[in-house]
Amino acid sequence: MFSDNTLKGGSGAYHYRNEEVDRLLQEGRAEFDQAKRKTLYDQVQTLLMQDAPMVYLNYYVNVDAVAKGVQGYRMHPTESSYHLETVSLAK
């Protein structure tokens, strides 16, 4: 199943293997009822949280530089969305 698509018996570079996760993912792919599918994928997420096969130990900080003549620009606090529809250049 999904865990089989890897080297040395686990999923991807992290060698993660959980037969219950594989089963739930397979059921989710075959389920057409969205509420039932969500329940299956919620169970997958719970198992992944419990197993914690990987942990990201990094974060990023947005740094924006704007010339003096630019008006109406506001840096988005959490992502890189420029919303240039509000920006103009001073004459």
Residue 75 inside a domain? The answer is: no
| Number of other CB atoms surrounding residue 44 within 10 Å | 18
Q: Are 54 and 14 in contact (CB under 8 A)?
A: yes
Residue 78 inside a domain? The answer is: no
Residue 74 inside a domain? The answer is: no
CA distance 61 to 78: 9
Q: Judge if pTM exceeds 0.85.
A: no
Residue 67 inside a domain? The answer is: no
Residue 7 inside a domain? The answer is: yes
Residue 35 inside a domain? The answer is: yes
Residue 40 inside a domain? The answer is: yes
Number of domains in the chain: 1
Tens digit of each residue's pLDDT (9 = 90 or more) over 32-79:
999 999 999 999 999 999 999 888 788 777 788 889 999 988 887 777
Residue 26 inside a domain? The answer is: yes
Q: Which domain holds residue 8?
A: 2-51
CA distance 89 to 71: 6
2-6, 23-27, 64-68, 78-82, range with greatest mean pLDDT:
23-27
* Rg of the chain (C-alpha set): 22
